[in-house]
A = this chain, B = another copy of it.
Amino acid sequence: MTATDFDIPTLRARRTNKWHKFPADVLPAWVADMDFGVAPPITAALQRLTDKQEYGYAAREGALAAAFARRMASRFNWHTDLKDVVAIGDLVQASFSAVMAFSEPGESVLLQLPSYPPFMLAIQDTGRRLIANPMKDDGVCWRLDLDSYDAAPDPTARMMIFCHPQNPTGRAYNRTELEAVAAFAIRHNLIVVSDEIHADIVYPGGVHIPLASLSPEIAARTITITSATKSFNIPALRCAVMHFGAPALKAHFEKRVPSRLLGSPAVTGVDATVAGWDEGQPWLDEILAQLKANRDWLAATIAAELPGVTLRLPEATYLAWLDCRGLEIPGSAGQFFLDHAKVGLNFGETFGAQYPGFARLNFATPAPVLKEIVGRMVDAVRQR
């Protein structure tokens, strides 16, 4: 069996949210994990723990930070210091804690829309105000629109949650765009939480540049949050890192948020992450080839078979942000495909209230499954 060779009965037997949210006649293509396995070094690391029955308090001091530093250096030529890293369970926890540390209730946080839904919650559930900064489809790709905020800045804005590569649009911003973001954050005196969890999943032609690597000035106000869970398909192991671009930033965070309040990743998450980052790239290269083939097939098939649906080719992520407004479906496009195609997408309106005409499709699935998903969608549109 190759790394991407899982059939539907095997996948459906998985005890995962992806395969259990919807009834059995629905094919899921929603939550962002992959219908593949994990890298052999990850299996070996977890097997070692099981074989040794070794679940006492784990001696892994600094192991995660060191693996993060090696990975950032080898993959993105970004040189980080172990002292600037905090281990945490997941990026949602990271965003909540950062918002609570660097703003006060009633102050505002800027966020590009469409957005990964928990980032909106990190702002709203903590009593901050969300400043929506919608992206624009320029006919070729989705673009940041910083100008509209420049024209009407909010004096209570303290932070920006920035997602790069962007979920759900799949944008991998280039250096020019990122330099504009950095200048924008400095100009408006914003602390930036930079979600870079999709950094490893960038297709040929694109490149990932860590925001904090641009200059010491932007680093000093940037908290980079990332994890191996997305690229190495281990989200249930709950392991992530926060990197503070300057010691003062971390000191402020730790003063505001007691570190023991946040817990710490389990040894299974730490060992799997270190194994993935250090030894998992051959497996990930194989996965990336499959993802690229899926992406290209998906884009071509949508263009040919789904008139009324527009996809701007994702440069990164295994997520396709489908603009279904041309179908002129009343209400939610996601609901339409769930009801009529028996395909479970993420509903666009969960990424921002203005997006009911959109849906997010996860194409990290074996090619036969993807063909079945899209085939069902094509049939549903034709049979309207």
Contact = CB atoms under 8 A, between A and B. Distances in A.
B55 A263 contact: no
Given A53-B37, A53-B38, A58 B260 contact: no
A235 B37 contact: no
A145 B266 CA distance: 37
Interface string A18-37: 11110000000001011001
Nearest to A257: B261
A34 B56 contact: yes
A122 interface: yes
B263 A88 contact: yes
Interface stretch (A44-52, A317-325, A336-344): A44-52
A126 B258 contact: yes
A96 B59 CA distance: 23
A247 B57 CA distance: 33
A100 B57 contact: no
Contacts of A50: 43, 46-47, 50
Given A50-B43, A258-B125, A260-B122, A55 B93 contact: no
Interface in A248-271: 258, 260-269
A55 B267 contact: no
B34 A261 contact: no
A125 B43 CA distance: 38
Nearest to A259: B125
A56 B233 contact: yes
A237 interface: yes
Which bucket holds chain A's interface residue count? Answer: 35 or more
A180 to B, nearest CB: 30
B266 A17 contact: no
A258 B268 CA distance: 25
A55 B46 CA distance: 11
A265 B266 contact: yes
Given A89-B264, A260-B92, A55 B235 contact: yes
Contacts of A260: 92-93, 96, 118, 121-122, 125
Given A125-B260, A263-B263, A266-B265, A58 B236 contact: yes
Contact of A55 (B19, B53, B233): B233
A97 interface: yes
Q: How many copies does the complex hold?
A: 2
Given A50-B43, A50-B50, A260-B121, A14 B56 contact: yes
B267 A237 contact: yes
Nearest to A38: B53
Given A16-B58, A16-B59, A59-B15, A96 B126 contact: no
A60 interface: yes
A58 B17 contact: yes
A54 interface: yes
A287 interface: no
Contacts of A121: 258, 260
A90 interface: yes
Contacts of A97: 261
When A and B form their complex, which 3 residue pairs have the shortest distance between CB atoms, in order from nearest?
Answer: A89-B263, A37-B53, A33-B56
21 contacts: A14-B54, A15-B54, A15-B58, A15-B59, A16-B56, A16-B58, A17-B56, A33-B57, A34-B56, A43-B53, A50-B50, A55-B235, A57-B235, A57-B236, A89-B266, A90-B264, A118-B260, A238-B263, A238-B264, A268-B268, A268-B269
